[in-house]
C-alpha cells in the first residue's frame, strides 16, 4: 500500500505540475529535493511570478522513523515507528478573479516493535478559496467533488463537504476560509471499506483535482481586474494567512515539530494586506462573497 501510494503521488505531482505550467505559459516549477535527518525526505516544487500563478507549491514528502514525542501525544500512542507520505498543494493566482486552491492527499502507517503495521489510514481533500464569487465555479468544483465521491459511497460527498466547511473555518472571524470542497481524515478499514477501497477513493479524488480546478482557471485568468479588485484579494489573502497560522493543525504541527519550514509555509500568499476594520460596501461583489463565507451553501 505504502509503495503503491508513494508511486501514485510521485506521478500525480508530475501530472499536476506539467498541467499547471502549461496553463501558466511562462513560469516553471523550481524543484527542491530535501532529506529529513531522521529519515525520509521530499520533493518540493514551487512556482513564482507566473502569468497565471503568482505563487504556488506542489510538494510531496515521504518521512519515516521514530514517531516524534509531540506526534505520540497527538495520536495517543507511545514509542512507535511511523511512515507518512503525501502530496500537498496551494496555488495563489495573480488575477483576483481566479480562486486560490488547496489540496492534500496523505497516507499514514504506525508500526509495533517488530515492524508490523498496527494502524494505517488515509486523509486529504481539496478546497477552493475565491476572492470574487462566480457561482458557476463553486458549482463546478463541488460537482466534480460529488461525482468522485458518489462513485465510492453515497454519503461521502455530504459528509466530507460538511467536514471541509467546519475544518476550514476562521472561528475568530466567524467565516469560512473559502467555499469548501472535501475534507476527510483517519480513513481506516471498516466492514464497508477495505484499505484498498480507501486507496481507490483517495487516488480518485487526487485524479479529479485538475478536472475540478483547471476549467475555473481557464475561464477566469484573462478577465480584467482593477486595483481595487487586487486590493480586496490581498486583504482576503490575509484571512488565508490567519487560518493557516492560527487554526490549521497541519501547519502548526509542522512548525512545532521541526518540520521543513519553507515547505510548510509555501502555502502563504505572496503579497498580503491587513487594513484596520475593513468592510466591503453594502451590496457589493465583495460583500456577496462574505455572505457565502458566513453561511456555507449547498452547491450541488
Give me the active site residues, please: 102
Q: Which of 40, 238, 250, 280 binds a second copy (CB under 8 A)?
A: 238
The DSSP bridge pattern shows strands 169-170 and 175-176 to be: antiparallel
Q: Which residue has the cell 484573462?
A: 222
- Return the range that interacts with a second copy (CB under 8 A); candidates 20-28, 73-81, 188-196, 244-252: 244-252
Judged on CB neighbours under 10 Å (0-12, 13-18, 19+), 264 is buried
Minimum distance, C-beta of residue 176 to a second copy, in the bound complex (Å)? 16
Mapped onto helix, strand or coil, the DSSP state of residue 82 is strand
φ and ψ of 175, to 5 deg: -150, 155
* Residue whose C-alpha is closest to residue 42's, from 31, 52, 51, 34: 34
Least distance (Å) between residue 171 CB and a second copy: 8
Q: Which of 26, 28, 35, 172 binds a second copy (CB under 8 A)?
A: 172
Report the site for a second copy in 33-62 (rule: CB under 8 A): 46, 48, 55, 57
Contact 208, 145 (CB under 8 A): yes
Q: Which residue is it, cell 466591503?
A: 280
Choose, by CB under 8 A, the member of 28, 35, 228, 275 that binds a second copy.
Answer: 275
- Is residue 273 a contact point for a second copy (CB under 8 A)? yes
* Residue 265 to residue 255: CA distance in whole angstroms: 9
**178-237 positions binding a second copy, by CB under 8 A:** 234
Q: Which residue, 191 or 276, has its beta carbon nearer to a second copy?
A: 276
Which residues are CB-contacts of 73 (< 8 A; sequence separation ≥ 6)?
none
Q: Which of 150, 228, 261, 288 binds a second copy (CB under 8 A)?
A: 261
Contact footprint for a second copy (CB under 8 A): 30, 32, 46, 48, 55, 57, 171-173, 234, 238, 241-242, 245-246, 252, 255-256, 261-262, 265-266, 268-277
Amino acid at each position: 500500500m505504502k509503495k503503491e501510494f508513494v508511486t501514485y503521488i510521485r506521478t500525480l505531482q508530475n501530472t499536476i505540475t506539467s498541467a499547471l505550467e502549461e496553463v501558466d505559459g511562462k513560469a516553471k516549477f523550481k524543484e527542491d529535493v530535501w532529506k529529513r535527518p531522521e529519515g525520509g525526505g521530499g520533493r518540493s516544487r514551487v512556482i513564482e511570478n507566473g502569468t497565471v500563478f503568482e505563487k504556488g507549491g506542489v510538494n510531496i514528502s515521504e518521512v519515516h522513523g521514530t514517531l516524534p514525542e509531540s506526534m505520540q501525544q497527538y495520536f495517543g500512542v507511545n514509542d512507535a515507528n511511523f511512515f507518512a507520505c503525501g502530496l500537498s498543494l496551494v496555488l495563489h493566482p495573480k488575477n483576483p478573479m481566479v480562486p486560490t486552491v488547496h489540496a492534500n492527499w496523505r497516507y499514514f502507517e504506525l508500526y509495533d516493535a517488530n515492524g508490523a503495521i498496527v494502524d494505517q489510514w488515509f486523509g486529504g481533500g481539496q478546497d477552493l478559496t475565491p476572492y470574487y464569487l462566480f457561482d458557476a465555479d463553486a458549482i463546478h468544483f463541488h460537482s466534480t467533488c460529488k461525482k468522485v465521491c458518489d462513485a465510492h459511497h453515497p454519503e461521502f460527498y455530504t459528509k466530507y463537504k460538511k467536514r471541509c466547511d467546519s475544518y476550514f473555518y476562521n472561528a475568530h472571524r466567524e467565516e469560512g476560509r473559502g467555499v469548501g470542497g472535501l475534507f476527510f481524515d483517519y480513513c481506516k478499514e471498516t466492514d464497508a471499506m477495505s484499505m484498498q477501497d480507501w486507496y481507490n477513493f483517495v487516488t480518485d479524488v487526487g485524479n479529479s483535482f485538475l478536472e475540478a480546478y483547471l476549467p475555473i482557471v481557464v475561464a477566469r485568468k484573462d478577465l480584467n481586474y482593477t486595483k481595487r479588485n487586487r486590493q480586496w484579494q490581498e486583504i482576503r489573502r490575509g484571512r488565508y494567512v490567519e487560518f493557516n497560522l492560527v487554526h490549521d493543525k497541519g501547519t502548526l504541527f509542522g512548525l512545532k515539530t521541526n518540520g521543513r519550514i519553507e515547505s510548510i509555509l509555501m502555502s502563504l500568499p505572496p503579497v498580503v494586506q491587513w487594513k484596520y476594520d475593513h468592510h466591503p460596501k453594502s451590496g457589493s461583489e465583495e460583500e456577496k462573497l462574505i455572505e457565502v463565507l458566513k453561511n456555507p451553501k449547498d452547491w450541488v
